[in-house]
Each structure stands twice: as C-alpha cells, then as structure tokens.
C-alpha cells in the first residue's frame, strides 16, 4: 500500500516536467521546433529526466520487494535487481529527448506564442531562473513528503467509502421480478356431430 502513496509523487513530477511552464494560450505565431528545443536545453531536460527515473526506480523497487516478499535468497535478490536495472534502463530510453521531443514540440506549439517561449528561454537562462530550476525538484519532493499523511488519509477514506458502498450495493436484494401470468386453460368445446340422415 505504501508504494501506492508514491504514485501521486511520480505523476506530479511528470506533470510538472510537462506543464511547469504553461501560461497563456497561443494567439500569435507559434514557437519553432528550435525554440522549444532551446527551452528544454535551458531547463536542463536531461537532469529532470534523471530525477523522474530515480523516483520511478524508488517506487518500483518498493513494489517489487513487496511482491517478492522477504524470503528471497541473496542470489534471488541479485536477479531481482538485474531485472529492476533493465526496467529502469527501458524507462530512461523511453524518456530520451529524441523520443519525447515531438510531444513537447506539439504541446508548446499548440499552447505558447513564440515570444512567450523566448521569454522563458531568457528567464531560465538567468542566474535566478537557473536557481529556480535547481530548487524546484527539492520543493516538489518536500511538498510530496509533507503531503504523505494527507494522501494516506485520503486513500484510507476512499477505501472505507468504497467498502461501505459495495456492502450496501451487494446487500440490497434486487426486487423480485413479477410472477408470470397463470395460464388459463379454456376447455375445448365438444365436437359437433352432424346427423347426415336427417
């Protein structure tokens, strides 16, 4: 269950990486691909990607250990770690810039104006902008850490509410269907005998 509480942290990190710079909708010339690439370079996408993969690794490691249990031998733990390393390598490859660049370019082209992207490039190129980028992961991590009790309480409440609702739903007997009408047997009339001799 503990690993479930980490999932919002990963989702928040990915959302922040994708949407941290969302502002006004575009109404003028969209940014060029080169501008978006420059912005991601200025924001140090590679560092942010590593931090996301590290968070994914910590969460997945916890899930794997919970699934495997505590009876693994040292050799089995090494095999599990090799499997984890392969999974994280695939995640790192999947998030490589050449794979996500088309997504970022489309999102920023559909969302921002060229001058807005240039303004972000200029800001994040300043000492203050770089300092904010450096501190943002720490701020996000600390925020999620402080939110853990709230998230735990929320999940527990959701679980209780679902269990209560499911019990109510399953305990309510569905109304009995109406009984089918009782067929009424109508006796056939006796055959009419025609006397041919009359």
pTM above 0.85, yes or no: no
Q: Where are the domains of the chain?
A: 2-151
Mean pLDDT of the region 153-175:
83
| Helix, strand, coil percent values for the chain (each to nearest 5) | 75, 0, 25
pLDDT band at 194 (very low <50, low <70, confident <90, very high): very low
Q: Model confidence over 96-105: pLDDT tens digits?
A: 999 999 999 9
Q: Model confidence over 136-151: pLDDT tens digits?
A: 888 988 898 899 899 8
The token pair at 15 is 């959302």
Q: Quick one: DSSP state of residue 24? A: S
Contacts of 33 (CB under 8 A, 6+ apart): 101, 105, 109
| Cβ 37 vs Cβ 101: under 8 Å | yes
- The percent of residues in the chain predicted with pLDDT above 90, rounded, is 33
| Cβ 39 vs Cβ 117: under 8 Å | yes
Q: Model confidence over 33-60: pLDDT tens digits?
A: 999 999 999 999 998 888 888 888 888 8
Please report where in the chains the tokens 């031998």 appear, as a residue: 73
């Amino acid at each position: 269950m503990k690993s479930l509480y980490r999932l919002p942290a990963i989702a928040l990190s990915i959302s922040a990486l994708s949407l941290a710079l969302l502002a006004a909708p575009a109404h003028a010339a969209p940014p060029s691909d080169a501008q978006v690439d420059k912005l991601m370079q200025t924001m140090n996408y590679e560092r942010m990607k590593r931090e996301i993969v590290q968070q994914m690794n910590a969460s997945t490691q916890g899930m794997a250990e919970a699934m495997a249990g505590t009876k693994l031998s040292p050799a089995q733990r090494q095999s599990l770690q090799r499997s984890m390393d392969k999974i994280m390598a695939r995640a790192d490859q999947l998030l490589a810039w050449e794979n996500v660049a088309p997504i970022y370019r489309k999102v920023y082209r559909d969302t921002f104006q060229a001058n807005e992207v240039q303004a972000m490039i200029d800001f994040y190129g300043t000492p203050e902008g770089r300092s904010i980028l450096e501190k943002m992961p720490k701020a996000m991590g600390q925020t999620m850490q402080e939110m853990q009790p709230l998230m735990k309480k929320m999940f527990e409440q959701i679980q209780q509410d679902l269990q209560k609702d499911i019990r109510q739903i399953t305990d309510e007997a569905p109304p009995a269907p109406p009984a089918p009408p009782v067929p009424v047997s109508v006796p056939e009339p006796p055959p009419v005998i025609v006397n041919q001799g009359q």
